[in-house]
Amino acid sequence: MKILITGGAGFIGSAVIRHVIADTGDSVINVDKLTYAGNLESLRDIGDSPRHVFEQVDICDAAALDRVFRQHRPDAVMHLAAESHVDRSIDGPAAFIETNIVGTYTLLEAARRYWQEMDPARRDAFRFHHISTDEVYGDLDASDALFTETTPYAPSSPYSASKASSDHLVRSWHRTYGLPVLVTNCSNNYGPCQFPEKLIPLMILNALEGRALPVYGNGQQVRDWLYVEDHARALYEVLTRGTVGETWNIGGHNEQTNLEVVHALCGLLDEFRPASAPHARLIAHVQDRPGHDRRYAIDAGKIERELGWTPRETFASGLRKTVAWYLQNLDWCRHIQDGSYQRTRLGINAPGVGST
């Protein structure tokens, strides 16, 4: 199978590609604009695999997408390309509207044109898998039941509103045009290759440099944490075995407050890189961000019942692996901090080159 993966140089997208190349016989067409969050160094483990080809393409560029579909003739699409940082969406929502809504629309139309021209057998097998977030559901009180696939949407930020819009577009393309879609909504991901503006890598790098560990408000916001490699496995299961038109929530069964996460990180750093004083001394509470959601928590029972997926990592085991990865890959972090990651291609197949 040939899978077109958008956002394949991003955090989750690169984990999906590493899984596909390492653990399946499938091929990948990696479509990524390479914005600030796109980093081809995250794919260095796959080297110059002939089953991976990279296309530097903006999903808002209809003509470029049409060329990619015609040239590579994928059997499925996994759509991960998105602006995804809540703080950035508050400071500049326009990019989120453009990429997450207009980009998803443009990709849907390119996929529909391609799908309609396929022969009947390939058309029946084609899938468009849209990867979204639990943030579309809004937030929960401490005593509220978990998010399910039928929880009403109530997004709180420009980011989550733009993702909710993209979810609605995907489902409407299925209902109106018959495009065979699958939708997943995941909880907070963590693990190797996450961009350092996110909570866990930011805290690790700040602590190593002896800098403050900023925690919003009282730090009691609760998130369900999902190890990114567990998520990659779940996404592939949905793509290959899921029922068209259905939605699956993917969570890690790991609810933690932000403050608990930071203290756990400090404990691991005290173990791996002991300093003259405990790293927790660096924790600094800062003004909360506007509209900060209180709690996200996912019921992942449907994907377990229907597809047999469960996370392999507990929060403790996944966090230990994550901290160890960052400590062993500080060059990856430095290349982001000095900007050199945006100038490298690492021998990965250049746009339009390579077999798939």
- Annotated catalytic residues are 134-135, 159
What are the backbone angles phi and psi of residue 152, rounded to the nearest 5°? -60, 150
> In degrees, to the nearest 5, what angle opens at C-alpha 331 toward C-alphas 330 and 334?
85
CA distance 280 to 267: 8
**Residue (of 356, 264, 245, 336) closest to 35 by Cα position:** 336
Residue showing tokens 């040239």: 71
* Closest listed residue to residue 212, CA positions, set 289, 287, 281: 281
- What is the three-class DSSP state of 310? coil
Q: How far apart are CA 86 and CA 228, in angstroms?
A: 19
DSSP string, 58-82: -TT-HHHHHHHHHHH--SEEEE---
On whether the CB atoms of residues 114 and 62 are closer than 8 A, the answer is no
Contacts of 184 (CB under 8 A, 6+ apart): 129, 130, 131, 132, 234, 235, 238, 247, 248, 249, 250
Pairing of strands 255-257, 222-227: antiparallel
Backbone angles phi, psi at 34, to 5 degrees: 60, 60
User: Cβ distance 53 to 356 under 8 Å?
Assistant: yes
Do 344 and 41 contact (CB within 8 A), yes or no?
A: yes
What is the DSSP annotation of 218-253? TS--EEEEEEHHHHHHHHHHHHHHPPTT-EEEE--S
In the sheet that 188-190 helps form, which strands lie side by side, from edge to edge?
Answer: 188-190, 222-227, 255-257
